[in-house]
Chain A
């Protein structure tokens, strides 16, 4: 079946540094990918929709300069958390839309900012 590989699975970074999270579709082309954020014991909140070759569409309240999304190819989307702070600590998860087959999720990245 369709697989989305997300790396890293865990990352700890110092406050003020930037962290890049990668999401790759391994055996299919994904023109659309989605990035979600999940705080402990809460639901998944959509941050942005990423389309290959164009600018991402951000949800209301999500700072596009802080959460940089790049979808340069049909198999790779990246989320960069810039100048991370402790309040950015969260679980980030991507998903790829595989046409009529629906959504395939990555395994998530647990970010801790110290």
Chain B
């Protein structure tokens, strides 16, 4: 069965610090997708990134970057120069296969607080 572990539960940083959110996953499939979502206090889920299992290239999008390492089954997320608006709960998620009924399994989430 698929599983996503976000060992960190709460992280507090001061504005402009860099912060890395860890994600470790388990799956038996060779084809799978990994996701990161942001959930601000309002509750909606904001999509950040999707990465398939065959693409290990790291990605950078502005202040966000992701490090995907299949050897350690990790998909870590780094926010550079954090800002107060980054305060939210961040979820890592996994879906197996590429079929139409693939369901997402979420980690427990990491609450990030960025202090001014």
> What is the number of contacts between chain A and chain B, taking CB atoms within 8 Å?
56
- A95 adjacent to B104 (CB under 8 Å): yes
> Is B101 an interface position by the 8 A CB rule?
yes
Chain B residues lying within 8 Å of A49, measured Cβ to Cβ, are: 101, 103
By the criterion CB–CB under 8 Å, are B45 and A93 in contact?
yes
Nearest CB of chain A from residue B88's CB, rounded to whole Å: 13
Number of interface residues of B (CB under 8 A): 23
In Å, the complex CA distance between A106 and B95 comes to 18
Majority DSSP secondary structure for residues of A touching B = strand
A56 to B100, CA, bound (A): 14
- A41: B residues at CB distance < 8 A: 111
Return the contact of A44 from the options B33, B102, B106 (Cβ within 8 A).
B106
Let me know if B43 and A51 touch, CB within 8 A. Answer: no
Q: Among the listed A44, A97, A100, A106, which residue makes an inter-chain contact with B91, where contact means beta carbons less than 8 Å apart?
A: A44
Is A74 an interface residue when CB atoms closer than 8 A count as contact? no
Q: Are B106 and A32 in contact (CB under 8 A)?
A: no
B-contacting residues of A (Cβ < 8 Å)?
Answer: 31-32, 34, 41-46, 49, 51, 57, 91, 93, 95, 97, 99-100, 102-108, 110
